[in-house]
Chains A and B, each alone.
Chain A
Amino acid sequence: MRAFKQTFWLTLIKLGIFITILSLCLFLFLIFTKGGKVISLSFLFEPPKEGMTKGGIFPALIGTLYLTLGSILFALPIGILAAIYLSEYAKPSVFVSAIRIAIKTLAGVPSIVFGLFGLALFVNFFGFGVSILSGALTLGILILPTIINASEEAIKTVPQDFREAAYALGATKRQTIMKIVLPTALPSVLTGAIISVGRAAGETAPILFTAATFYTRRLPKSILDEIMALPYHIYALMTEGTAPKFQVPIAYGTALVLLLLVLTINLVAIIMRYRIRRKKKW
């Protein structure tokens, strides 16, 4: 009886993971095959034509590039500096606890709330309008907690021995951080940054009202222009498109491009992490 129970439950569990892996594979298979039919070099590098029924997604690709670049340019310096403060300078206090609570809370805010926040603050209050700037800032704040956490982890991994050696040689705290701690932690910090870039590239809700538009005639000329973006393009094609027969395949194609982009970015991060672990000699 006991043996039967065990077989029953273990089989159920094995079934469970089988279903999970199968559905995820099915999902990926679908995107790859349906998207693959549409993908070509011209798809990647040409703008949409004929009312979004033909052509490519180049402006969306560029838009996603600008948005993620902008978000990381904003979030990385702030994130690293904040992590430096938290791990090298901060002493336990109510103030520091408040900062940590704020970081955790930020990490849990739904992405649509970020979108509304971006709309209220950047688009309306600051008057940036629906633009790359608004979108990048909103995305930047979205990924900030991840960057702070990854950077703090990386800095904490630097052995105390190195700091001691630097101090004993007459280095100040700032010199020790800038010349020893940070360079040593940098590869891991960058890995965290890369993962955040992947996240920023795939987010739709934060850019819905802050940056994205379905169609622009030309590529953006300034950061105050609105832009197309890959995730938004998928959504728009499916919900605002007037010719589903043509547009659903394009949506699949765009999804495949976005998927490959995100997977590649994450793969780069995983490889970096693996190589860091191997290279570490201390």
Chain B
Amino acid sequence: MVESEILIKELNLWFGNNHILRNITMPINKNKLTAIIGPSGCGKSTLLRCFNRMNDLIEGVKITGSIFIDGKDIYSEKTDVYALRMKVGMVFQKPNPFPKSIFENVSFSLQIKGKLNKQAISQRVEKSLRDAWLWDEVKDRLHTQAFELSGGQQQRLCIARALANDPEILLLDEPTSALDPQSTIKIEELLIELKKTVTIIQVTHNIAQAARISDYTGFIYLGELIEFGPTEKIFTTPKDKRTEEYLTGKFG
């Protein structure tokens, strides 16, 4: 198995009395794309949000277990949650750019860190937009409103915005489910390129997409990790019956 410095260990999560995530242990391989698949409402997004502790923001949540990134448990008391979120970026299902200009969107996290000067910020913005394959389309209108972009462009903008932090891990929550087929293909190709430099964890309910672009796949059902392994193995010879039934469309 490829070396993994990212590991979920015995993770449990409750929303109030609902036991949403049940004792999940799963490795994440660096600079690979790991897909998390499973039927709707089984905890995929919740699991994803554990990586950047976004679940902390919800009232009445209880989490036990650990997630190790670079050897350190992000759920320890000493963790700086804000620094964590800059190291672990997130892109949401529905593109959510700020009602500001393209430039202001991408430079947002740089502005709040407050450490770079104007020139450095401009350079970072350009690099992020290039990495997200959006630079050529917007380089002449960086100061126009982000909302004027198309859906696919907005999502790439959100990716650029997350990349501006130079994150180690990028979390994607069904990033193409709100987009048209063309934009979807473009973003899938982008992700295949991006995973060379960023570890990607992607939730998707699109099984075909997972087969297309991921290196590893984890199947979550009713809050449990049923099966995990290299994508090819999972899709051709799944070990668990439930995995097989899900993949062949018997449910979900």
Measured CB to CB, the residues of A under 8 A from B are 91, 159, 161-162, 164-172, 175, 179-180, 184, 281-282
Asked if B161 is at the interface (CB within 8 A of a chain A CB), the reply is yes
Asked if B158 is at the interface (CB within 8 A of a chain A CB), the reply is yes
Partner of A161, one of B84, B92, B109: B92
B82 touches A170 (CB 8 A): yes
A168 touches B90 (CB 8 A): yes
B98 touches A180 (CB 8 A): yes
Partner of A170, one of B86, B97, B158: B86
Measured CB to CB, the residues of B under 8 A from A are 52, 54, 57, 59, 82-86, 89-90, 92, 94, 96-99, 108-109, 111-113, 145, 147-148, 158, 161-162, 165
Name A169's closest neighbour in chain B (CB-CB): B109
Q: Which 4 A-B pairs have the closest CB atoms?
A: A170-B86, A161-B96, A168-B90, A170-B85
Contact residues in B for A172 (Cβ distance below 8 Å): 82
In the complex, A167 Cα to B96 Cα: how many Å?
12
A169 touches B96 (CB 8 A): no
Shortest A27–chain B CB gap in Å is 42
Query: What are 14 A-B contacts with C-beta separation under 8 Å?
Result: A159-B96, A164-B92, A167-B57, A167-B85, A168-B89, A168-B90, A168-B92, A169-B112, A169-B165, A170-B85, A171-B108, A180-B98, A184-B98, A281-B145
Name B171's closest neighbour in chain A (CB-CB): A168
Shortest A87–chain B CB gap in Å is 15
Contact residues in B for A159 (Cβ distance below 8 Å): 96
Contact residues in B for A161 (Cβ distance below 8 Å): 92, 94, 96
Contact residues in B for A167 (Cβ distance below 8 Å): 54, 57, 85
In the complex, A282 Cα to B161 Cα: how many Å?
18
Shortest B7–chain A CB gap in Å is 22
A169 touches B108 (CB 8 A): yes
- 5 more contacts with CB within 8 A, not counting A170-B85, A179-B112, are A161-B92, A162-B96, A168-B89, A170-B112, A171-B109
Partner of B112, one of A164, A168, A175: A175
A184 touches B92 (CB 8 A): no
Partner of B99, one of A170, A175, A282: A282
A166 touches B108 (CB 8 A): yes
In the complex, A162 Cα to B59 Cα: how many Å?
19
Contact residues in A for B158 (Cβ distance below 8 Å): 165
Shortest B187–chain A CB gap in Å is 17
Q: Which of A165, A166, A179, A281 has the most CB of B within 10 A?
A: A165
